[in-house]
Amino acid sequence: MKELARSAIDLAHRKIVYPALTSGDAQGDREIAHEKALRLMERGQDSDILMRIFNALYSFNDSIVATRFADTDLRNPIGLAAGFDKDARVIGFLDSLGPGTLKAGSITLLEWAGNEGQRIFLLPEDQGLINRMGFPGAGAKKAKEKLDVIDGTTHSALVVNIAASKPSFSSIENAIIDYAEVAKELSPYGEWHEVNVSSPNTPGVRGLQEPEVFAQFASVLAEFYKEESVPFTFKFSPDLPVDKLLKDVRTAKDVGAAGVVVTNTTTDKQIRDSLRSPHRNEIGGISGRPLTKKALDVSHTVYEYIGEELDINRAGGVINSEDLWDALTYGGARIVDIYTAFIEQRTSRPSLFYRMVSDLAKAMREHGMSSMREFEELRGRRVPFPNARK
């Protein structure tokens, strides 16, 4: 009966909801569609009945997929990446869909409009998208109002992603101060904080990854987070040269980070030149299927370097269950984020997290596994994905 209900809701989403969200002006500008989706979710999470139904349908209650990250117990290793719910508006609704983690943000200290003009471009022929948002959001104080209500109420682990907006980068010193201030403002919230030092859409952000700068930056934030007993991770770019990336990963380990997130979106020219969609030349970070191989290779490189000394949170290009499996094996990840798969027309559906988690459980059993701990023997290795649903 539950499977019939999940299939019926997916069908309604594909035939009715998704076309409605992407109609009119939203056909050309998917940021409009995104806002329409957020408003619909806000109404949905106000319905106790709907939330109980969704929680019953999409909670995958099987201990085989339970895991830990940042000293936090998680119901499964699959989460929604930062960027979808920048101001923590619909965490309650998203939680009802069954992810293991949910990320609010990126949240900046002050309200910021982000970059001007159209900022999201679909790449349908490539199963990806380009964004150049530039950290729009209502700021930390407004986010606190939402986080006050939802923190501690979700089945998924809430993670707060922090960043700094364009005015913060008048100097590296000012940027560090603003990151520290937003960290302080939001320190009571979330199971851990994710520090975004890798967005390509705000000038100055990626400069924080330069090893000498990052060492200074990371030590300042680490000192604060340790005083407040807040676990933290750093999110890195896939475009950072390997020698610099590994220096930063070592620094993250040395200052006491709970893990690293690899990767953010890419501006790689070779990837851009391979795109087929009409919007391929738009400025911004590329995500989705075009990023899959590069993000996986970066994750593997980090795992080969740091091993089990530091946990990896894989993000970027995880579109289906096989990508998830590859991230947890060859990529060496403990947890995995999705984003583009959640909003891209061919893969977007309410049951997405449930399907991927159930596929993972099936694949694990076909490999004779009984818990996520057994992935420790498979991390860093190429392991065939069983013939489960993708």
Tokens (6 digits) for 84: 């979808």
Asked if residues 123 and 279 have their Cβ atoms less than 8 Å apart, the reply is yes
By three-state DSSP, how is residue 291 classified? helix
Report the alpha-carbon distance of residue 278 to residue 376 in Å, rounded. 42
Report the alpha-carbon distance of residue 288 to residue 344 in Å, rounded. 9
Tokens (6 digits) for 372: 């996520």
Closest CA to 333 of 262, 389, 265, 382: 262
User: Secondary structure of the chain: what % helix, strand, coil (to 5)?
Assistant: 50, 15, 35
Would you say how long the chain is, in residues?
390
**Considering Cα of 13, then 65, then 147, then 119, what sign does the dihedral take?**
negative
Tell me, yes or no, if 199 is annotated catalytic: yes
Q: Active site residue: 165, 199, 321, 351, which one?
A: 199
Closest CA to 327 of 77, 103, 83, 102: 77
Report the alpha-carbon distance of residue 390 to residue 355 in Å, rounded. 8
Catalytic residues: 199
